[in-house]
Amino acid sequence: MVMTQSRLPRHIAIIMDGNGRWAKKRLLPRHFGHKAGLETVRRVVKFCAEKQIEALTLFAFSSENWRRPEQEVSLLMQLFISALNREVNKLHKNNVKLHIIGALHVFPEKLQQLIANAEIITQNNTGLNLVIAANYGGHWDIVEATKKLAQQIEQGTLRSEEITEELLSQQICLAHLPNPDLFIRTGGEKRVSNFLLWQLAYTEMYFTDTLWPDFDQATFTQALESFATRQRRFGRTGEQVEKDA
């Protein structure tokens, strides 16, 4: 199937799941799966940049992932730190603009510094917007946005009856990007696991059993092809959409 740019999603959001099971299948410790998963991240970023996708949001660590064994959490942090250290210059060369979302203040100071630097280095780039969700939760996101509006009310610059969906949207993470058009979850689970709850309201969902380390160009292309066949109605009838096409 030939995909024209208009049938490509502008923004893709991915739950990168299945690293642990990938390692288990090979009788390896779970962290081998996370390392292999990082390779997939490189591949997918490259592919999105080549396809001129506007934005890619990757779920790297959820607000619930702290419940994992301490050793795994610490290894994931180390992996995140070394990836930032090693990849930022390359991302910058490739015109990628990096943005990290989540409750970052709980991370070690060194990691927060790295994140801030990476964002500063790449801030003027005009290519792919690469968003990494780390210690992110959709509930947290909505609560933070609500707090910001509440502060405006406290300061007397906003009245509660003036709150609209639009106003709340502006305070939610990724307000500067179009909402995700395509959501992909690898690893076979069919749930959203507290990812971008607000932003996914009208996103097309694609679930694949492929484990994240095995997710390659062919499986990614299948997801894009599935997206290209979908009729996005946003509440209207199919006939209305066809008439406007």
Give the binding site for Mg ion (CB under 5 A): 17
| C-beta of 21 vs 43, nearer to Mg ion | 21
The minimum distance between CB 95 and ligand IPE, in angstroms, equals: 26
CB under 8 Å to 41, separation ≥6 — which residues?
16, 58, 83
* Residues 63-122 contacting ligand IPE, CB under 6 A: 64-65, 76
- Which residue has tokens 């090693």? 86
Number of other CB atoms surrounding residue 107 within 10 Å: 20
Region near ligand IPE per CB under 6 A, out of 11-19, 96-104, 119-127, 213-221: 11-19
At 129, give phi and psi (nearest 5°). Answer: -85, 110
Q: Which two tokens stand for residue 99?
A: 């943005």
Q: Which of 40, 57, 62, 129 binds ligand IPE (CB under 6 A)?
A: 62
Interaction partner, residue 140 (ligand IPE, Mg ion, none; CB < 5-8 Å by kind) = none
The verdict on 19 binding ligand IPE (CB under 6 A) reads yes
Task: Indicate the pairing of strand 97-101 with strand 55-62.
Answer: unpaired
Residue nearest to ligand IPE (CB): 20
Is 17 considered catalytic here?
Answer: yes
HSE, CB side, 13 Å, CA atoms: give it for residue 172: 20
The minimum distance between CB 15 and Mg ion, in angstroms, equals: 8
Is 65 considered catalytic here?
Answer: yes
The verdict on 189 binding ligand IPE (CB under 6 A) reads yes
Residue 9 Cα to chain centre, angstroms:
14
The verdict on 16 binding ligand IPE (CB under 6 A) reads yes
Residue nearest to Mg ion (CB): 17
The minimum distance between CB 84 and ligand IPE, in angstroms, equals: 15
CB under 8 Å to 134, separation ≥6 — which residues?
60, 61, 80, 100, 101, 102, 104, 107
The minimum distance between CB 145 and ligand IPE, in angstroms, equals: 21
Q: Which two tokens stand for residue 216?
A: 């390659």
Contact 28, 195 (CB under 8 A): no
Contact residues for ligand IPE (CB under 6 A)? 15-21, 59-62, 64-65, 76, 187, 189, 191, 193
Catalytic residue positions?
Answer: 17, 65
